[in-house]
Amino acid sequence: MQIILNGAATEVADALTMAELIEQLKLGGRRLAVEVNAELVPRSRFSEHRLAPQDQVEIIHAVGGG
Amino acid sequence: MPIETAATDRFTLAGREYSSRLLVGTGKYKDMAETARAIEASGAEIVTVAVRRTNLGQTPGEPNILDILPPERYTILPNTAGCYDVETAVRTCRLARELLDGHNLVKLEVLGDEKTLFPDVIATLKAAEELVKDGFQVMVYTNDDPIVARQLEEIGCIAVMPLAAPIGSGLGIRNPLNIRTIVENAHVPILVDAGVGTASDAAVAMELGCDGVLMNTAIAAARDPILMASAMRKGIEAGREAYLAGRMAPKRFASASSPIEGLFFQH
């Protein structure tokens, strides 16, 4: 299925969980936060949250800023 | 009575005490090492960060800004820079809270226009209301309007942060009388956020009675950011001590500093 990951159309396995996506992106253990379709997905729910086709996934982190 | 100096006078924010009244941003530095050295030289204990998309698979092992800001030493203040509407500002704060393990202190800014980066105060008021309801401790960037500052305080923002001049402009305090009025009306900390250009600007903000100053570009864009960070630290301390000391009343004409009595010649 296709999801929109940080603005880019991306092919992933059907019914992939957020935890699996984070693992595949080699982002495990990094300080990040995630929202799907503009709703926050807490870290504690990564393993149960299943992605659906066309989900808009944003993975964010902290950067320098004022 | 003990003498109150900038060294013994503490800044309280959200129930926590700080010895520094200088808050710094972490943007626009050459690299992470320079950022770390500038923060160190500034003495700041509250440091802002922004929230952006993670680079996916491009630079693994790339240092993250949070790596140089140990939480036992610094209070991290995530901002909503780049947000032009209520919804994105609120989403950004929720992501930041998740990112920082439930830490709910945020710097809210809802911008109105790219040329001035002035706040959209109507959207700012709405976003502040939503965030306060959602349990955030909101430090809010606003313009130098005393009425809006009062309304933001009434909503429940824990600090109100009027701009001195446009973000990144370095123009200094353009409207000191409004800043003074905001300070006089306030029951929450007032910090000048944005527009400071050099150490004397920081001192002026503190002499006006502000509780602190938040800055980024004035340090990061100096020829020597580390030295400027140190200068800002001193400017903040000097301004605060001058405010606490209470300046002399200005007079139009001279008043001799040496005694008139005991002159041994006629004049």
pLDDT confidence of residue B2: 58
Q: Quick check: is A44 in a domain?
A: yes
**Number of independent structural domains in chain B:** 1
Question: How many independent structural domains does chain A possess?
Answer: 1
Residues of chain B neighbouring A27 (CB-CB closer than 8 A): 54, 56
* Residue A10 placed within a domain: no
To the query of whether residue B234 is one of the catalytic residues in this protein, the response is no
pLDDT class of B267 with cuts at 50, 70, 90? confident
Residue of A nearest to B78 (CA): A62
At B26, is the pLDDT very low, low, confident or very high (cuts 50, 70, 90)? Answer: very high
Which residue blocks in chain B are alpha helix, DSSP H? 32-42, 86-99, 121-133, 146-155, 176-185, 199-207, 217-220, 225-245
pLDDT of the residue at B7? 66
Any bridge partners for residue A9, and if so which? A4
Mutate which: B34, B49, B53, B76, vs A, most A CBs within 10 A: B53
Residue A41: strand, helix, or coil? strand
Report yes or no on B252 lying in a domain.
no
Condensed to tens digits (0 to 9), the pLDDT of residues B104-125 reads: 999 999 999 999 999 999 999 9
How many CA within 13 A on the CB side of residue B38? 29
B170 shares contact with chain A (CB less than 8 Å): no
Question: Are residues B21 and A60 in contact, defined by beta-carbon separation less than 8 angstroms?
Answer: no
Confirm whether A33 is domain-assigned. Answer: yes
Contact A29/B at CB under 8 A? no
Q: What is the value of pTM for the model shown?
A: 0.94
CATH number of the structural domain spanning residue B107: 3.20.20.70
- Residue A64, in any domain of the structure: no
Tell me how far apart the alpha carbons of residues B142 and B133 are, in angstroms, rounded to a whole number: 19
Residue B200 belongs to domain spanning: 11-245
Reading chain A (66 residues) residue by residue, the pLDDT tens digits are 999 999 999 999 999 999 999 999 999 989 999 999 999 999 999 999 999 999 999 999 999 999
Is the ipTM higher than 0.90? The answer is yes
Residue A6 lies in a domain: no
Q: Which of B107, B115, B126, B234 is catalytic?
A: B107
Asked if residue B153 has pLDDT above 80, the reply is yes
Kindly tell me if the per-residue pLDDT of B133 is higher than 70. yes
Structural domain harbouring A42: 16-51
DSSP state string for B63-78:
--GGGGS-TTT-EEEE
Q: What pLDDT does B4 receive?
A: 65
What pLDDT score was predicted for residue A62? 96
The model's confidence at residue B63, banded by pLDDT at 50, 70 and 90, is confident
Find out whether A18 and A49 touch, Cβ atoms under 8 Å: yes
* Nearest Cβ partner for A59 among B54, B76, B217: B54
Q: What is the pLDDT of residue B8?
A: 80
pLDDT at B240: 97
What value does the mean pLDDT take over residues B192-218?
98
pLDDT over 70, % of chain B: 96
> Which are the contacts of B141, defined by CB distance < 8 A and separation ≥ 6?
B107, B108, B109, B119, B124, B161, B163, B193, B194
Per-residue pLDDT tens digits for B250-265: 999 999 999 989 999 9
Calpha distance A30→A21 (Å, rounded): 13
Would B266 be classed as within a structural domain? no
- Is some CB atom of chain B closer than 8 A to the CB atom of A30? yes
